[in-house]
Structure 1
Amino acid sequence: MDDAAILKRRGYIMGINLGEGSYAKVKSAYSERLKFNVAVKIIDRKKAPADFLEKFLPREIEILAMLNHHSIIKTYEIFETSDGKVYIVMELGVQGDLLEFIKTRGALQEDDARKKFHQLSSAIKYCHDLDVVHRDLKCENLLLDKDFNIKLSDFGFSKRCLRDDSGRVTLSKTFCGSAAYAAPEVLQGIPYQPKVYDIWSLGVILYIMVCGSMPYDDSNIKKMLRIQKEHRVNFPRSKHLTGECKDLIYRMLQPDVNRRPQIDEILSHCWVQPKAKGMSSAAINKEGESSQGTETSWTPEPNSDKKSATKLEPRKEAQPETKAEEETVLESRQLETPGVTSEPSTKETEEGPLPQPPETHT
């Protein structure tokens, strides 16, 4: 029986194709029960790699079933057929994804960015409080509903955090995500704190929201890493960003994992709070540097308008240029359309690297 017939039996009238990869695709469908359109991710077990079937898919299904937050894409139903196809029926991001929105309309005004970023941060806090980490935060995975509210999607790389005997979250060794959004420790192949990794990606997303460009050029990973480790963040002067906004971005793009803020600190930052001042504007001078010291300063370069305006495109993944570069690869997602991209696959498992990583995609 084909997909349309299977979905029809479950009360869905299949619509257009939203995206397709080697072993998964996303279709739109009309739900006769819900009386509105949904997205259906269809995964073919017969075509999927073993590590996806054994690790990533069970994690995604488990996590999707437990999440219930207004800024996270809802999962309505998950079912599987006898021939090995898994159907995940989800909320449809009717206004597309944030990347396309910014590419079409340009950078957001700070008030709009604040609203959307607060929605996203609330979703991440909800996940982190449940010890769930996303590990693939990027603009393509932030869908927009009919009112242009943020809906976090694609939990294909997500996992439940493990804790040691003392209750501390253990480090992750599975290196995944998109290079342009990946924290320096991940690019270097260092075992990382998964919640802290999410925070770096949040910093990249907020930069894109308010600047309309990428904070770092990932066409040269080695050079990008050097700039990141020097804690340099260049802001386009033409955007006239407030010091509070630049301060928050700078804090999140902190290369020292022990100094990078947690999600509660981000939500309590003065810029995120529409009315609360938290830190007075006077504490941040006109150059955007905190009078508290170097922690909240950045290193602007001459003509930073040109140097920070990295072209905003869907980011493909690059191989980390570190001593572990032969062992870790950041994988690209094959479904880049609104809906849910799937096909998470890393070439480093938590038990050790797999041999012969694929070629770097450029």
Structure 2
Amino acid sequence: MTPQSASPVPSAVSSAAASQISYDPRDGEHSVTRAFAGMNLSAANGDVLPTPPPPAKTARPTMANRISRMFSNTAKTGSKEPDTHRDFSDSSTDSVKPPSNGSGRQSKPTSRPSSRAPSRQTSTKEDSERKPKSNGGKDQKDPSAAAHRRFEALPDHAHCHHLKSARRQEKLTDLLRDMLGGGRKKDDHVDDQQLSLMSTWIDQFKNERDKLAADKKGGPNATASLVDKYGKCQEIVGRGAFGIVRISHKVDPKDSRVEQLYAVKEFRRRPQETTKKYQKRLTSEFCISSSLRHPNVIHTLDLLQDAKGDYCEVMEYCAGGDLYTLVLAAGKLEVAEADCFFKQLMRGVEYMHEMGVAHRDLKPENLLLTTHGALKITDFGNGECFRMAWEKEAHMTAGLCGSAPYIAPEEYIEREFDPRAVDLWATGVIYMAMRTGRHLWRVARKDEDEFYQRYLEGRKHEDGYAPIETLHRARCRNVIYSILDPNPSRRINASQVLKSEWVREIKLCKAGEEGF
């Protein structure tokens, strides 16, 4: 790891002048200017400038020492890391591209969105070199201005979110048009292509396009009870392998101008799936999701059958879309914005694990957002109950499931493993996707993925992994390294993450706290 120590003072500057070189945000200019001015004045008067002493050698920190300080009390050390909540450009990003729809994902329906997502800036020369070329002459909008529209900082380190998935969808549509039309440049970085958040989206889009058009043409076929209780199902806002999500519009009988929106997930029978297995699969998901009540977990309301005999799960509707499309449209999220979503995610995961439930498919596509910025975990199709209410010990689980970039390494090599540790691993990958706009690796298997191999080598030699090292705050890096520990027995749990010094300092928005 690179030691977090001050750089040595150049020999051309006196120690007296160097001691004055600093930056005070309350001043209108850099104090370094005044320091050099004083040094030049001394030289003009004939004073001899003393030669600075050689810099003291700093002990090289180890990964174990760094992580052990994760839960340290700041008050005891008397030092506090600088606040980086307003730092909007601390890591590189990949080019933004359209998403694939998960079975539980929702996005806000729109007629004609009006704005385009901004271009992005990087903070270092290396980041600039990795950044894809310009978008063919299109105007580049100021990312800080666009971020301000999406995320607003308030006094006392508070903040609020203003999410409109309609505008993000227009940006993704433009990107899709460019990519299908050959808009991507040949000299784009190979690593960026391999770790892009949409690496498999284009193929999925082409395969599903005809099916989606057929669904829109045919329309829903709901029973009278479904229509009476929750209104008529209309536009499709999400799609998975064996189900789609529509918006149901329930008109207020007292005022026809007011309507309540619900998300209705239609379960489809898999090929060669018997009626018994079909009913077991959907009732299992409904039983898990409907038993959970938390501001950061989706609220599941009902399970009904439509006229075709397919079951429909009714949930609260999140008009802010999902985290996946937000990251794609924004390129990467601001520090405080990503931190807020991460803490909400950890609150939801901690609650699920306390209830004896593991999700087993955590990814940005399964994290829904309200327009005010509340994050809600959804899609419990792979969920498992690892501990019943009367049991004290957790059961191990088996089997490979989820999306490759978020799957924990033990799922590939162990016959049985703790599903809670699997969920935690995914949260670490999700946080890095929010901060960098790209995956850390394609798959967490050292013999199959060069990026994951680099990560393991970085941990072994105490050098760390470059994408994680771009995170400015040491406490943040240490928590992420602890979450992404390849050894699941050493991996920290959700409660420990929430008790860490870094996460305790994260201030949630009011919507994230209350779930509205």
How does the TM-score come out when normalised to structure 1? 0.68
Give aligned pairs, total: 275
SS, match of residue 222 in structure 1? coil
1:290-305 → structure 2 map (5 Å cutoff): none
Query: How far apart are the structure 2 equivalents of 1:220 and 1:270?
Result: 31
Query: How far apart are the structure 1 equivalents of 2:455 and 2:281?
Result: 29
Task: Report which of the two structures shows the higher radius of gyration computed on alpha carbons.
Answer: 2
1:218 is displaced (CA, Å) by 3.3
1:217 is matched with 442
1:185 is displaced (CA, Å) by 0.5
1:1-362 → structure 2 map (5 Å cutoff): 3-4=221-222, 6=224, 7-21=226-240, 23-32=242-251, 35-45=259-269, 49-50=273-274, 53=278, 55-81=280-306, 83-162=308-387, 167-218=392-443, 222-224=447-449, 226-227=453-454, 230=457, 232=459, 234-236=465-467, 239-274=470-505
1:105 is displaced (CA, Å) by 1.0
**CA-atom RMSD in angstroms:** 3.0
Judging changes above 3 Å, is the alpha-carbon distance between structure 1 residues 103 and 20 closer, same or farther for their aligned structure 2 residues?
closer
1:206 is displaced (CA, Å) by 1.1
Structure 1 residues 229-249: Cα deviation after superposition (integer angstroms, max 9, x where no partner)? 557452348955211111111
1:217 is displaced (CA, Å) by 3.1
What residue identity is the alignment partner of 1:69?
H
List alignment gaps of at least 5 residues for structure 1. Answer: 277-362
Identity %: 28
1:36 is displaced (CA, Å) by 2.2
SS, match of residue 49 in structure 1? coil
Contact 1:215 1:234 in 2 (8 A): no
Contact 2:368 2:375 in 1 (8 A): yes
Query: How far apart are the structure 2 equivalents of 1:257 and 1:81?
Result: 43
1:14 is displaced (CA, Å) by 1.9
1:228 is displaced (CA, Å) by 5.5
What residue identity is the alignment partner of 1:103?
L
Judging changes above 3 Å, is the alpha-carbon distance between structure 1 residues 237 and 247 closer, same or farther for their aligned structure 2 residues?
closer
Judging changes above 3 Å, is the alpha-carbon distance between structure 1 residues 47 and 275 closer, same or farther for their aligned structure 2 residues?
closer
Contact 1:211 1:239 in 2 (8 A): no
Query: How far apart are the structure 1 equivalents of 2:411 and 2:261?
Result: 37
Structure 1 residues 31-62: Cα deviation after superposition (integer angstroms, max 9, x where no partner)? 23693222100113486734962653232111
Structure 1 residues 147-193: Cα deviation after superposition (integer angstroms, max 9, x where no partner)? 12211111110011147x99421211122111100100013353110
Greater share of helix: 2
Contact 1:19 1:25 in 2 (8 A): yes
Contact 2:339 2:506 in 1 (8 A): no
Contact 1:15 1:30 in 2 (8 A): yes
Query: How far apart are the structure 2 equivalents of 1:98 and 1:222?
Result: 30
What residue identity is the alignment partner of 1:184?
P
Structure 1 residues 107-152: Cα deviation after superposition (integer angstroms, max 9, x where no partner)? 2222222211111111111100000000000011111101122111
SS, match of residue 373 in structure 2? coil
